A and B are shown apart, each in its own frame.
Chain A
Amino acid sequence: MSWLDYFRAARKEEAPPSASAAKERLQIVLAHERIGRTREDFLPRLQQELVAVVARYVAIDPGKVKLDLDRGGDMSTLAIEIELPAPSPGRQAAAS
């Protein structure tokens, strides 16, 4: 790092410009809103149906289902976390 960089770094110390963050966030959210303009809000139903399917095989607590959506620019992820009941109360106690 040359001594010039030191001065540059010192000047940049202030908060990074926030306008570029604004642009990026807008581009991502609008890309999604433009597609989903007419059929928004399928997520609550998706969650219900998924939980119903899983419940057919395992007894689950509907309160312990977590849905996480991350709308990204290149890729979006939908993460569904379903907590399964412990095998048996006795063993769980022994393990801890």
Chain B
Amino acid sequence: MAQVIVVTSGKGGVGKTTTSAAFATGLAQRGKKTVVIDFDVGLRNLDLIMGVERRVVFDIVNVIQGEARLNQALIRDKRVDTLAILPASQTRDKDALTREGVSTIIEELSADFDYILCDSPAGIEKGALLALYFADQAIVVTNPEVSSVRDSDRILGVLQSKSKRAEEKKDKVKEHLLVTRYDPNRVERGEMLKLEDVREILAIPLLGVVPENESVLKASNTGTPVIMDTESVAGQAYKDAVGRFLGEDLPHRFLEPDKKPGLFRRLFGGRAA
């Protein structure tokens, strides 16, 4: 049986799709058979971030409505052979997704994959509820910023009351906190919530911290999940997070601000270069 993992946040633009792409790729690189599903019907983007936008023929709505078979809609990644992508529909409206339809798809995928990642749309409406409904585990993506933390808290409440596991009174959905777009320099200046503050407030186990990093934009430009940029701090942070998810005990990195330029450099033009 596959593990179903929802990548969720409540708030939009915090890094869910970036995380879904990176995490799915990371799990697949570790040999896990992984499929990542885009639940953002109408605002499909995972295909672009994964770099498979030109290969989309059918989407999840086609499958639910019986217009295509699941195997026809799945896009097999050309870089990592244990990775597949199920795109969202760009033209249909959100109501095209039904709980029964999604249930059938997840059941079918369960037979062939180890992990099913669900990239949730923003909000706490139908699309987001459906993305988290079948979850065994949740990666709650949070930025160190008041509205994002509040929305994460809200979505934790939803996970605990409206997921299938909650409804059936099974063990609760396993929660992981992933703090993204973390800027240690701003934290040091007192402008941004500290990691410790976010942890204290949300009080769920920390999976990782992904720093604010230019490489994320670059990766999206070329359609390469940022975890494949092994030189970048964001790529490395995601790789660590995947390792922790698989049970490794890794220290958190990239939490300290850049080294301050020495007096010498400050006096004699550190900017020259």
Contact = CB atoms under 8 A, between A and B. Distances in A.
Interface of A: 16-20, 22-23, 25-27, 29-30, 33-34, 37
B190 A20 contact: yes
A2 B29 CA distance: 61
B212 to A, nearest CB: 15
B153 A19 contact: no
A93 to B, nearest CB: 51
Contact of B146 (A17, A20, A22, A33): A22
B177 to A, nearest CB: 14
Interface of B: 145-146, 149-150, 153-154, 157, 187, 189-194, 197, 201
Contacts of B154: 33
29 contacts: A16-B190, A17-B189, A17-B191, A18-B190, A18-B191, A19-B187, A19-B191, A19-B192, A19-B193, A19-B194, A19-B197, A20-B190, A22-B145, A22-B193, A23-B193, A23-B194, A23-B197, A23-B201, A25-B146, A26-B146, A26-B149, A26-B150, A26-B193, A26-B201, A27-B201, A30-B153, A30-B201, A33-B150, A34-B157
Contacts of A20: 190
A27 B200 CA distance: 9
Nearest to A18: B191
Nearest to B192: A19
A17 B145 CA distance: 14
B188 to A, nearest CB: 10
Contacts of A33: 150, 153-154
Contacts of A17: 189-191
Contacts of B149: 26, 30
